[in-house]
């Protein structure tokens, strides 16, 4: 057991999860300039016309407001996906809204897309400037979602909301992600139905093309709770409209198979579950997607990747890139390096 695991299990689990996140992220940002001098690990990956420094990225949700991109890169992440950013800034759901399940190496969150909004984040990215991988920066993904107050059943309003985010943020992104799969914004997952999703993605595509001189790759992030038939439908739609990739998967609303006491889980209540319990379903969705889309479409696998064996299994199943979040919380700052060294060494 690592020193971090001992610290986490015996001390950090006693602190409020959201407060601990902010403190830990602050430390990462502060240490970024020192960490940036350390050697990098991993082999470059070519995908979507981009060169990723390595296969592993930080998933959306950790850096919602683009405040610590370079600190995360210094820890070894080859790409960082910020957000989810919404058209309008919003505080998210009431606290407490982030809960650890240490027995399951999992987290339940109902953050509710708390973020500063597209205008503020765009200004922050403009001030940071473009820092390509040749300058030691990561590939930058920008994940956009629906503002909570925008009615899900008002199609023009939904399109306008995503359009605002895409218009402001696409010029700063190496790739853009449409998030329709968080369980914490009412009605959002209804947008995963292909008849709703396709016009949304096509609209975001047109918007991004209108504000950028070079084409910005566009991906969609889907939930693990989709049926297999719906996963296939999304895969087929991706091919039909020329989508650049699919990120699979987001958090789950399922609570099946948890070791944590049932009463504790019920007391926590609603929210998306992430971490080790997603391992099997995320791998199944990835396998199904790769079979359906063929060898060329970029597939980013996320959800339940904790060990080197988990990472290798995703790559063997056809993942182009990997992302993590919850395992980073439980395993600590050396986790990216361990994964990258492990997948490089047979």
First vs last C-alpha separation in the chain: 23
Residues annotated as catalytic are: 182
Measuring CA to CA, how many Å separate 145 from each of 50, 85, 88, 211, 250? 23, 6, 10, 19, 13
From the annotation, which residues make up the binding site for substrate?
A: 64, 109-113, 179, 184, 250-251
Q: 196 CB contacts (<8 Å, ≥6 apart)?
A: 155, 190
Bond into 141 cis (ω within 30) = no
Rounded to the nearest 10 degrees, the angle between the axes of helix 155-169 and helix 194-211 is 30
* Domain range summary for the chain, segments of one domain joined by +: 3-341
The set of residues, in sequence order, having a beta carbon less than 8 Å from that of 281 and lying 6+ positions away, is: 224, 249, 252, 254, 303, 304
Binding residues: 60-64, 84, 109-113, 143, 179, 184, 221, 249-251, 275, 304, 325-326
Tokens at 85, concatenated: 């950013």
Tell me the two tokens of residue 118.
Answer: 């597209």
* 3-341: CATH topology: TIM Barrel (3.20.20)
In sequence order, what are the beta bridge partners of 56?
Answer: 322
Q: Over the stretch 217-250, which tens digit does the pLDDT of each residue have?
A: 999 999 999 999 999 999 999 999 999 999 999 9
pLDDT in the model for residue 207: 98
Residue 256, by phi and psi: left (phi above 0), alpha (psi -120 to 50) or beta? beta
- Tens of pLDDT, residue by residue over 79-94, are 999 999 999 999 999 9
pLDDT digits (tens, 9 = 90+) for 201-212: 999 999 999 999
- Residue ranges at the known binding site for FMN: 60-64, 84, 143, 179, 221, 249, 275, 304, 325-326
Rounded-to-integer distance, Cα 312 and Cα 306, Å: 11
Q: Print pLDDT tens along the chain (346 aa).
A: 566 666 666 566 778 999 999 999 999 999 878 777 777 889 999 999 999 999 999 999 999 999 999 999 999 999 999 999 999 999 999 999 999 999 999 999 999 999 999 999 999 999 999 877 666 689 999 999 999 999 999 999 999 999 999 999 999 999 999 999 999 898 889 899 999 999 999 999 999 999 999 999 999 999 999 999 999 999 999 999 999 999 999 999 999 999 999 999 999 999 999 999 999 999 999 999 999 999 999 999 999 999 999 999 999 999 999 999 999 999 999 999 999 999 986 5
Give pLDDT, residue 38.
74
Using DSSP bridges, classify how beta strands 98-101 and 106-109 pair: parallel, antiparallel or unpaired: antiparallel
In a 13 Å sphere around the CA of 43, the CA atoms on its Cβ side amount to 6
Report yes or no: 182 and 113 within 8 Å, Cβ to Cβ. yes
């Amino acid at each position: 057991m690592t020193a971090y695991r001992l610290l986490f299990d015996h001390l950090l689990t006693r602190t409020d999860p959201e407060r601990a996140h902010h403190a830990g992220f602050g430390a990462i940002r502060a240490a970024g300039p020192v960490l940036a001098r350390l050697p990098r690990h991993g082999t470059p990956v070519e995908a979507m016309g981009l060169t990723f420094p390595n296969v592993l990225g930080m998933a959306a949700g950790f850096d919602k407001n683009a405040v610590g991109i370079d600190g995360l890169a210094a820890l070894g992440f080859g790409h960082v996906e910020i957000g989810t950013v919404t058209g309008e800034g919003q505080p998210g759901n009431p606290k407490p809204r982030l809960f650890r399940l240490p027995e399951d190496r999992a987290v339940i969150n109902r953050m509710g897309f708390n973020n500063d909004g597209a205008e503020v984040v765009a200004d922050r990215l403009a001030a940071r400037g473009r820092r390509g991988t040749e300058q030691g920066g990561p590939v930058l993904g920008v994940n956009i979602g629906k503002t909570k107050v925008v009615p899900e059943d008002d199609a023009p309003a939904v399109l306008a909301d995503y359009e605002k985010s895409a218009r402001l943020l696409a010029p700063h992104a190496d790739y853009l992600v449409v998030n329709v799969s968080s369980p914490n914004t009412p009605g959002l997952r209804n947008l995963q139905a292909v008849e709703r999703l396709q016009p949304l993605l096509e609209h975001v595509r047109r918007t991004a093309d209108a504000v950028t001189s070079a084409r910005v790759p566009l991906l969609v992030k889907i939930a693990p709770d989709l049926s297999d038939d719906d996963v296939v439908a999304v895969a087929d739609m991706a091919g039909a409209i020329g989508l650049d990739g699919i990120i699979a998967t987001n958090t789950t609303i399922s609570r099946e198979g948890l070791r944590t006491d049932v009463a504790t889980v019920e007391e926590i209540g609603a929210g998306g579950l992430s971490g080790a319990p997603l391992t099997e379903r995320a791998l199944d969705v990835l396998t199904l997607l790769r079979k359906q889309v063929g060898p060329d479409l970029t597939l980013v696998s996320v959800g339940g990747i904790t060990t080197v064996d988990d990472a290798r299994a995703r790559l063997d199943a056809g993942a182009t890139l990997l992302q993590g979040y919850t395992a980073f919380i439980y395993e600590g700052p050396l986790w990216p390096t361990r994964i990258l060294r492990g997948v490089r060494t047979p």
